[in-house]
Chain A
């Protein structure tokens, strides 16, 4: 069966520090991969999606970037975090665009 792993679960970072959140999927090949952000009490905002290695699309221009160095690995990064980057970050995968997306457990990011 397929599983998705996302880490760390919780992260507290100072303003201006770099960020790296990692997501890996097991049990499937060539998944579609997604990064979302959820502000407190709000719905999910799609940040990036990827249909293959090194194929990244950005939905919202911002302080973040994403990379997919391997088929089942998706990384969310920032060179310098802003206070507004605080939130709950979720990684997800799907077999194709039409199939349900399955989510990781998320990372709670607090910027001080």
Chain B
């Protein structure tokens, strides 16, 4: 079974509107972390936001917020007031297990977001 599932291959949104990108995950580890990255057409991966499994509140970073529903194992990214520069590929990723030492990330297949004027 896939550990990270992003069911939306592509999403369209108009400028200034909010958009939600879906991410569901699968793990039996009680300690895990969820990350969202943005990849513009230039290729670099830009870290956006992080949510730990024990965090009580949903993470927020500027226009980005993470709608974390632990029981449903979902970690959706919400972008408020979309801008043209938000057009990019968005990846959800998960870290399982210990936060010290090493751990690796498992990435979803991504969602392409296109923002129109």
- Residue of A57, A102, A104, A105 touching B47 (CB-CB under 8 A): A102
A74 in the interface, Cβ–Cβ < 8 Å? no
Residues in chain A near residue B50, CB distance under 8 A: 100
Residues in chain B near residue A14, CB distance under 8 A: none
- Residue of B33, B93, B107, B108 touching A98 (CB-CB under 8 A): B33
Q: Which of B43-80 contact A (CB under 8 A)?
A: 43-47, 50, 52
> A46 and B47 in contact (CB under 8 A), knowing A97-B98, A100-B35?
no
A97 and B43 form a contact (CB under 8 A): no
- Residue of B43, B97, B106, B107 touching A105 (CB-CB under 8 A): B43
**Count of residues in A whose CB is under 8 Å from the partner chain:** 25
A97 and B35 form a contact (CB under 8 A): no
Contact with A along B95-107 (1 / 0, CB 8 A): 1011111111111
- A31 CB to closest chain B CB (Å) equals 11
A83 in the interface, Cβ–Cβ < 8 Å? no
- Residue of A43, A92, A98, A108 touching B98 (CB-CB under 8 A): A98
Q: How far is the CA of A57 from the CA of B50 in the complex (A)?
A: 25
Residues in chain B near residue A92, CB distance under 8 A: 45
B91 in the interface, Cβ–Cβ < 8 Å? yes
A and B contact pairs by CB, cutoff 8 A, 5 listed: A44-B45, A97-B97, A97-B98, A104-B44, A105-B44
